[in-house]
Amino acid sequence: QVQLGESGGGLVQAGGSLRLSCAASGRTFSTYDMGWFRQAPGKEREFVAHINWSGGSTAYADSVKGRFTISRDNAKNTMYLQMNSLKLEDTAVYYCAARSYYSTSYDEPSKYNYWGQGTQVTVSS
């Protein structure tokens, strides 16, 4: 099994940047597909970005495409989300997710079996 922990959230002005990190325990991190999701108050948890086990394949929600970059460093057991040109609507709790099995579906929360506790990102005007 694996444990995930997010860090790097905080308060940032619109147009600014923030880098989130997700540190994972366990020796099988490099075999797990991973992703980022976010949830604003009163909203459903929504897909943000996905990265496959090797880092060779990524996918993004249309709302963040061109602004966010997902990456991973398997040697460090860490996944990252670089967020640039932040907008007010990016405000949410951001969650790190991982799965220990293969699936062609990457944008559904139910397709991930490990989750971090979440980190708050607040974008101000």
What does pLDDT average to in each consecutive run of 10 residues of the chain (125 residues)? 94 98 84 96 97 95 98 94 98 96 95 97 97
pLDDT value of residue 2: 87
Long-range CB contact pairs, 42-45, < 8 A, 24+:
43/92, 45/95, 45/109
pLDDT value of residue 30: 80
pLDDT value of residue 37: 98
pLDDT value of residue 26: 76
pLDDT value of residue 103: 93
pLDDT value of residue 24: 92
Long-range CB contact pairs, 59-67, < 8 A, 24+:
59/106, 59/107, 61/107, 63/89, 64/90
| C-beta separation of 32 from 26 below 8 A | no
